[in-house]
Amino acid sequence: MKVLFIAKRARHQFSLEQSLAIFKSINEWHAKYIENGTYDCIHTFVEGGGIGIANVDSLEAAYDLLDDYPANLFFDWEVHPLVDISHAVEKSISNMEKALEQQRS
């Protein structure tokens, strides 16, 4: 299952020392999870925050991944499970064809 994480910058205050340590942890964390295939991509917005698309086995695994993120408290989060576009379009086509067939009967 793929999940989209959207991070929106929160206005939490951290000292410069805390921020530096967190940013170093972020850098290592991103490299680890991109390399092992957990994340397909991680990108930052120009204005701050960003997105990541992760591969997880369950929503509980998505929760754990987010909760373990070193900068979790820097952001407010949105989490959206994703559906493959081909599946969604094919399902919609099938449902529309069935509805048209029922209208004709």
> What are the boundaries of each domain within the chain?
2-104
**Measured CA angle at 65 (ends 22, 33), to 5 deg:** 70
Mean pLDDT of all residues in 61-67: 96
Overall fold of domain 2-104? Alpha-Beta Plaits (3.30.70)
pLDDT in tens, 83-101: 999 999 999 999 999 999 9
Higher local confidence (pLDDT), 5 or 18: 5
pLDDT for 35 equals: 97
Sheet holding 39-44, edge to edge: 39-44, 50-55, 2-9, 75-82
Work out the average pLDDT over 7-21.
87
pTM over 0.85, yes/no: no
pLDDT (average), residues 77-86: 96
Return d(Cα 71, Cα 32) in angstroms, integer.
15
Q: Interior CA angle at 38 toward 32 and 39, to 5°?
A: 85
